[in-house]
A and B are shown apart, each in its own frame.
Chain A
Amino acid sequence: MRTRERIGVGDALMLLPALFIGLFFLFPVGTVLWRGLGGEGLDAVFDLAKSPRQRDVLWFTFWQAAVSTALTVAVALPAAATVGGLSDRARRFVRSLVTVPFVLPTVVVAGAFDELFFATGLDTGDFRLRHTVWAILIAHVFFNYAVVVRVVGTACAGLDGRQAEAARVLGATRWQAWRAVTLPRLRPAIASASAIVFLFSFTSFGAVLILGGPKRATLETEIYRYAVSRTDLTRAAALAVVQLVAVLALVAVSTWLERRRPATTRMARPTRTLGSRPGRWLNVGMATALLGAPLAVLIERSFSTGTGYGLSHYQALGTRVRQLPAPATTALWNSLHYAALATVLAVLIGVVASVVVVHGRSGSRRLFDLGLTLPLGTSAVTIGFGILIALDEPPVDFRTRWWIIPVAHALVGVPFVVRTMVPLLRSIDPSIREAAAVLGASPSRVRREIDLMIGARGALVGGGFAFAVSLGEFGATSFLPRRPEDLTAPVALFRLLSTPGDLLRGQAMALAVVLMVFVTVSVFVIESSRGTAEGSL
């Protein structure tokens, strides 16, 4: 009888993502490694170990990521449990709401916190938060709150509430039932979320750069300092090598944890007994304060004209100021334009890559799995730095082309597409594919009719994330030399924020609010198209 063939994916199909990732990711990152490990580079790596400042930077990068993770889990876990007990519709709304901070441009958030510290008098004095570790930690909790709520909240909703109920009926208190039954089943989700938060905090760039002040440095900001401010590329490459090795180890741990996380079933009945009523209100209060306060201050400041409220800061966005090479509105227009392009690229590459990851022959599958998790973990800074030093000579002298910006953004966005699509494709019951085959669909037809159609929603969600992320992308973009007219909104915002004095702050706040509105709209579009499909992120 015929042997059942694996749904094979044509080699031509894989060529597109392979070429793209090869040229714009592997080649630049390889060049970083080459520079960092070859010739005097290796000496530079060893020099790092000898320099007390670099040892401090490395140590600080690690511990601030660890503390950020612990704080985020501690703050967001009760909220995740509450979210898990909500009805589907309410849960989706809360998920959208907490996801806005997650995709907000780091520059916007850093600006908002900076402004909050000014407004509350925490910028100077004994209880100063501005330019302290605390500012960085709080911002990291702000960004990553959504990761824990989404990953753990989804796991909570997928839990069969009857097991905790069984424990209650057998005499356990609410707390005992939670400890003994619910928590162990959430542990894989918590571990997986923690790994992601740690990775994000470890590679955090904009928040550290702006909120940490000139003295605080992590590996990321240090790479930036050497590459852009001091143009010591060898030292920067050495730092990037250290960063890459650390991040690869983290990605390996995160992938391993992700594998162990069981897929949530939609069959389970959620319980409504998680969390008492006052506990729930406490959660809502904390989340509102943490997530809402900086954004509220941001909005208030953007309208405040000193003598009252008005739109003058928004109107000023149209005129060029000395600190920017182009008006802020041009930057906004560029960002939208780049984000649209980056999204199309990320979706194209991500969809093909996801299909290969799920259905490809085992060799190419593993290669792609790895090749795709790399950009996920590799920081935007490393990607930007790699492009800066690798794509600078003919025939690949691309770094000054305007389109290298959306390409870099697409690299940052591809993992989002893959991460939403792969679980969706994996969740397709194999008997559905068999049903299609028995009804007369050839293997390639099955892939088109079933996998691509069902995966389309994942592609849409991932594409939405890619769009939002591109709108706010700062790390990679800040490395790329641009023509003045190619300025992006986050970079413009960073320039405005780093200008001393109050003169441009209002305009910065207005620009931040506009960016925030764009991102918020795309998040709600994402969530409404997501439907009941709850992927990992």
Chain B
Amino acid sequence: MLRVDALTVRFGDVTAVDDVSLELAAGERLAVLGSSGCGKSTLLRAIAGLEAGDGTVSVDGADLTHTAPDRRPIGLMFQDHALFPHRTVEQNVAFGLRMAGKKESARTRRVREMLALVGLEGFGEREIATLSGGEAQRVALARALAPAPKVLLLDEPLGSLDRYLRERLIDELPDVLGATGTAAIHVTHDHDEAFAIGDRLAVMHAGKVLQVGSPGEVWAAPTSITVARVLGHTNEIIDGVTKVVWRADAMTIDPSGPHQAMVDRVHFRGVDHDVRLRTHDGRMLRFLLDDPPAAGNDVRFSIDPARVLRFD
């Protein structure tokens, strides 16, 4: 449905988005994962028409490359929400409908529907300045969804929220998008968020999309060490010319195992433990274990070869 072909955006000498091609099916959610400054926000802005570049953008076969942002059937939810401070919640949500020339009765109905969808019934008359971070985020989502865009672009929409709210909204966001059947591109630097929200995952680095696939596939088999790093893999071991990465779930404590290290620190995470090991040559390794060894002891362990990534 949405097709991005060879999109490139340059700012002077810097190439922010470098020859990116993407496809999005109807109703599909694509998570774009990348560290800050990798060009993912610029990619969204270019798709929305806010940034000029080379390449093409089309929706349902209609070329939008030269269409102004206000004429594209694309919604964008901004990082800091960009709510209109001089308007109420209801007026914010109704804005896109008004621009589309919808009648007042239709607008009122749609606004009520959208506010209900994001769990903000009765918030219509509230001033923007009185909203909490989570409420503002929901209003922004309702506002972006109200005109029923074919594609919704979400630019780190949960970035400014505290952890508790983030996790709740990570949980709710796919439901809301599913309820409206809106295809979405969700940009984030947080791999947990990307895994939770994306049907598919695109890993971006230095302006390029390096790998696209289901979150499970990409996490289990990154195609390069860079992708592995973006995904949060930290256990890098040089084996001759080959770079080897031990996944955080690759280790089992095994008294007869081939490797030995000192347990440097154990960090309780709730369900499991984040265990930091120090090898004899000073390297730090991290694994997730249900039954952690006590800190300060030496342990022997083995590595599941199926959970080892190799990059030549």
**Complex formed: what's the CA distance from A389 to B96 in Å?**
54
B52 touches A436 (CB 8 A): no
**Complex formed: what's the CA distance from A453 to B128 in Å?**
15
A431 touches B70 (CB 8 A): no
B100 touches A440 (CB 8 A): yes
Q: Which of chain B's residues have a CB closer than 8 A to the CB of A439?
A: 70, 75, 95-96, 99, 143-144, 147
Task: Please give the distance in Å from A446's CB to the nearest CB on chain B.
Answer: 8
Per-position binary interface string of chain A over residues 1-30, scored 1 when its CB falls under 8 Å from any chain B CB and 0 otherwise:
111100000000000000000000000000
A450 touches B78 (CB 8 A): no
A440 touches B147 (CB 8 A): yes
Choose one: B46, B50, B54; the contact of A438 (CB below 8 Å).
B50
Q: Which of chain B's residues have a CB closer than 8 A to the CB of A457?
A: 86
Minimum CB distance partner of A453 in chain B: B86
Known: A429-B82, A432-B84, A454-B86. A438 touches B48 (CB 8 A): yes
Interface size class on chain B is 35 or more
| Interface residue B49 (Cβ < 8 Å from any Cβ of A) | yes
B65 touches A445 (CB 8 A): no
| Interface residue B76 (Cβ < 8 Å from any Cβ of A) | yes
| Interface residue A319 (Cβ < 8 Å from any Cβ of B) | no
B52 touches A2 (CB 8 A): yes
Choose one: A436, A438, A445; the contact of B74 (CB below 8 Å).
A438
B80 touches A431 (CB 8 A): yes
Choose one: B79, B80, B99; the contact of A441 (CB below 8 Å).
B99
| Interface residue A435 (Cβ < 8 Å from any Cβ of B) | yes
A436 touches B95 (CB 8 A): yes
Interface of B is mostly: loop
Interface of A is mostly: helix
Known: A1-B46, A2-B49, A4-B50. A438 touches B70 (CB 8 A): yes
| Interface residue B257 (Cβ < 8 Å from any Cβ of A) | no
Count of chain A residues near B, Cβ 8 A: 23
| Interface residue B85 (Cβ < 8 Å from any Cβ of A) | yes
* Chain A 43-76 interface residues, beta-carbon cutoff 8 Å to B: none
**Complex formed: what's the CA distance from A492 to B15 in Å?**
69
A437 touches B69 (CB 8 A): yes
| Interface residue A40 (Cβ < 8 Å from any Cβ of B) | no
Minimum CB distance partner of A432 in chain B: B82
**Complex formed: what's the CA distance from A439 to B95 in Å?**
7
**Complex formed: what's the CA distance from A386 to B222 in Å?**
77
Choose one: A429, A441, A450; the contact of B70 (CB below 8 Å).
A441
Q: Which of chain A's residues have a CB closer than 8 A to the CB of B50?
A: 4, 434, 437-438
Choose one: A4, A435, A449; the contact of B78 (CB below 8 Å).
A435
Which of A434, A438, A445, A454 counts the most B-chain CB atoms under 10 A from its CB? A438
| Interface residue A499 (Cβ < 8 Å from any Cβ of B) | no
| Interface residue A305 (Cβ < 8 Å from any Cβ of B) | no
Known: A436-B84, A440-B96, A440-B99. A3 touches B78 (CB 8 A): no
| Interface residue B68 (Cβ < 8 Å from any Cβ of A) | yes
| Interface residue B134 (Cβ < 8 Å from any Cβ of A) | no
Minimum CB distance partner of A532 in chain B: B129
**Complex formed: what's the CA distance from A432 to B95 in Å?**
12
Q: Which of chain A's residues have a CB closer than 8 A to the CB of B46?
A: 1
- Can you name 14 A-B pairs with beta carbons within 8 Å? A1-B65, A2-B52, A4-B51, A431-B82, A432-B83, A434-B78, A435-B83, A435-B84, A436-B84, A436-B95, A436-B99, A438-B69, A440-B71, A443-B70
Binding site for A on B (CB under 8 A): 45-46, 48-55, 57, 65-72, 74-76, 78-80, 82-87, 95-96, 99-100, 143-144, 147
Beyond contacts A429-B80, A434-B82: 13 other A-B pairs, Cβ-Cβ < 8 A, are A1-B55, A2-B66, A431-B78, A431-B79, A432-B84, A434-B76, A437-B49, A439-B99, A439-B144, A440-B99, A442-B68, A450-B84, A454-B86
